[in-house]
Amino acid sequence: MAVQRCIEPACGATFGLNERLYVCSLCGGLLDIEKPCELIGEALALREVWMTRLASPDTSDRSGVWRFRELLPFSDNAPIVSLAEGNTPLYEAPRSARYCGLQSLKLKHQGSNPTGSFKDTGMTTAVTQARILGARLLVCASTGNTAASLAAYAARAELACAILVPQGQVSLAKLAQTLDYGAMVLEIEGNFDDAMRAIRELAEDESIYLVNSINPFRIEGQKTVAAELLQQLGWQVPDHLVMPGGNLGNSSAFGKGFRELFDLGLIDRLPQLTVVQAEGAAPFAHLFARHEQYRPAQDTPVKLTVIENPQTLASAINIGAPVSWQKAWREIVWTRGHALSVSEQEIADAKAIIGRDGVGCEPASATTVAGIKRLVADSIVGKDENVVAVLTGHLLKDTDYVINYHRETLYTSDHAEGKTETGTRITGTFANHPVRVSATGDDILKTLECEQQQRKLQNQGK
Ligand SMILES: [Zn+2]
C-alpha cells in the first residue's frame, strides 16, 4: 500500500494516505508519499502505455499529470479535478544557449500550464485529494502563482477557497487571475513568510484543508514533470536540470520524480539538479555554499539559516524561509547538484534573452539562464553538456517588470517600496524601447531603417 512517511531519518513514522496531515504528527517532519515499485509497474510496459495515451481523447489521458497516473497514489476511480495541465513544451533555445556559452540549451516551459505557472501540475492532485477527504474550504498562502492555481482548481471542483497573500507584493496579473476564479483573497500585513506562519496556525482546524507546497499531494503531481520531460527527450537523461528556488517544493518534486523513475528502471542515471535563487532571497544557496567544501553525506545534519527580510523583484521566489528545504537538500546531495544565487541585474538580462528566443517567462524563471551562464563560466557545467532549464511562470505574469526593464525604469525592491531614495536602477542591457513616429509612410520607413541599422550594430557588439 502507498503511505505517507516522515522524512526525518530518526522518525520515519508512516501514516495512511487519507489521514489529513501536513507534517508528521509525531515529530513535525515533512511527509513523503511512498508507493512501492511493484504497485507501479514494469518499466517497458509503462513507457508503452504512457506513449499510447498521447493519442487518447480521454480526459485523464490528455492531462500531462494523470497520463502518468501509475506513479500517483490514487485509485482508478479517484474524482479527478483537471484542467488538462502539463503537456508543456520543451524548446530548443539557441539565443539563450549562446548567452550561457553552451552549444545547446533546452527550456522546459511550465509557464504554459492552464493558469500560466508550474503550480497547476501539483494543484490537480492536491485538489483531487481534497475532494477525496471531503474538504469544504481550501486555503493557501502564496506569492501569487499558487493563489491563481488553487483558485482555478477549487472553482473547477466547486469548492470554496481562500488565499493569503502578502499585501502589495503580488503582481497585478496574478491577483487578477485569483479574483476572476472567485477565490476569497485575504491580504496579510507582512511578507510571504508571515503569511505562511499564519497559515500553519490554521492546520488544526478540521473544516480547512491546506494546499501549500508542504502538502505532499502537491509534490506528487509536480513530480510527473520529470516523466513528461524524459518522454520528450526519448528517455535520454540530461546532464543537468536547472530550476529556480523559492519555497523549494518544485526542486523536491523534480528530485523525487527522477529518483522514482530510476528505481523503476526507466532511466539508468540521475541528472544533476541545480537550484538558482535571487541574491536577496537565497537561504538555500547560502546553505550550499557553507557545505560545498566537504560534500556532506546524505544523513549529515545541516541547518538552513532563514533570511528575515528577503528582497527580490522576482516576487515568485521572494521567500526567506522555504518550507521544503530539507527535501530539496536531499535531492541536491543525492544528485551531486548545486545551488547558487544571481543578482537582480543578471536575472533581468537573462529574462530579456529568453524573450529573444521567442519564449519569454516571468522574472523568477530567468534565474535559471543567469545561473547556467555562471556555472559555464566557472566550468561547473561543460559547454557540450546537455542542460535543461525549467521556466516556471509565463511572461505575462508580471508585465510591470517587463515594461520597466525595456523603458530602463526598473529599480531594485528597496526603491520600489519607497524605503530609499537611491534604489539601484537595473540597466536595460537588452532594452527594447518603443519609438514614437508620425503617422506618415515616410517617417515610418525612415525610422524602421534607422532601427534596423542600430540593431545590426548592437548584434555585432554582443
Ligand atoms: Zn516524524
Rounded to 10 degrees, what is the CA torsion of 86, 338, 23, 148?
-40
Closest CA to 198 of 206, 189, 207, 209: 189
31 CA to centre of ligand 1 in angstroms: 8
274 CA to centre of ligand 1 in angstroms: 27
Identify the pLDDT of residue 449. Answer: 95
366 CA to centre of ligand 1 in angstroms: 36
299 CA to centre of ligand 1 in angstroms: 15
7 CA to centre of ligand 1 in angstroms: 7
322 CA to centre of ligand 1 in angstroms: 19
**Contact 271/237 with Cβ under 8 angstroms?**
yes
Dig out the grid coordinates for 94 from the structure.
Answer: 539557441
Q: If phi over 0 gives left and psi between -120 and 50 gives alpha, with beta otherwise, what is residue 103? A: alpha
**Contact 369/446 with Cβ under 8 angstroms?**
no
What is the distance of C-alpha 245 from the center of its chain? 7
461 CA to centre of ligand 1 in angstroms: 57
Q: If phi over 0 gives left and psi between -120 and 50 gives alpha, with beta otherwise, what is residue 41? A: left
Dig out the grid coordinates for 47 from the structure.
Answer: 513507457
12 CA to centre of ligand 1 in angstroms: 6
Per-residue pLDDT of the chain (462 residues; tens, 9 = 90+): 899 999 999 999 999 999 999 999 999 999 999 999 999 999 999 999 999 999 999 999 999 999 999 999 999 999 999 999 999 999 999 999 999 999 999 999 999 999 999 999 999 999 999 999 999 999 998 889 999 999 999 999 999 999 998 888 888 999 999 999 999 999 989 888 888 888 888 888 888 999 988 899 999 999 999 999 999 999 999 999 999 999 999 999 999 999 999 999 999 999 999 999 999 999 999 999 988 765 656 566 789 999 999 999 999 999 999 999 999 999 999 999 999 999 999 999 999 999 999 999 999 999 999 999 999 999 999 999 999 999 999 999 999 999 999 999 999 865 445 455 557 899 999 999 889 999 999 999 999 999 999 888 887 765
Cα atoms in the 13 Å half-sphere on the side-chain side of 212: 31
Q: Is 127 helix (H, G, I), strand (E, B) or coil?
A: helix
User: Percentage helix, strand, coil, to 5, in the chain?
Assistant: 45, 15, 40
Dig out the grid coordinates for 184 from the structure.
Answer: 476569497
225 CA to centre of ligand 1 in angstroms: 28
150 CA to centre of ligand 1 in angstroms: 28
Q: pTM (2 decimals)?
A: 0.94
Identify the pLDDT of residue 225. Answer: 98
25 CA to centre of ligand 1 in angstroms: 7
Name the maximum alpha-carbon separation found in the chain. 77
20 CA to centre of ligand 1 in angstroms: 15
**CA–CA separation, 130 and 18 (whole Å):** 10
167 CA to centre of ligand 1 in angstroms: 34
347 CA to centre of ligand 1 in angstroms: 38
332 CA to centre of ligand 1 in angstroms: 22
Identify the pLDDT of residue 299. Answer: 61
34 CA to centre of ligand 1 in angstroms: 15
30 CA to centre of ligand 1 in angstroms: 8
263 CA to centre of ligand 1 in angstroms: 24
Dig out the grid coordinates for 134 from the structure.
Answer: 471531503
210 CA to centre of ligand 1 in angstroms: 19
Identify the pLDDT of residue 335. Answer: 93
199 CA to centre of ligand 1 in angstroms: 21
Identify the pLDDT of residue 414. Answer: 55
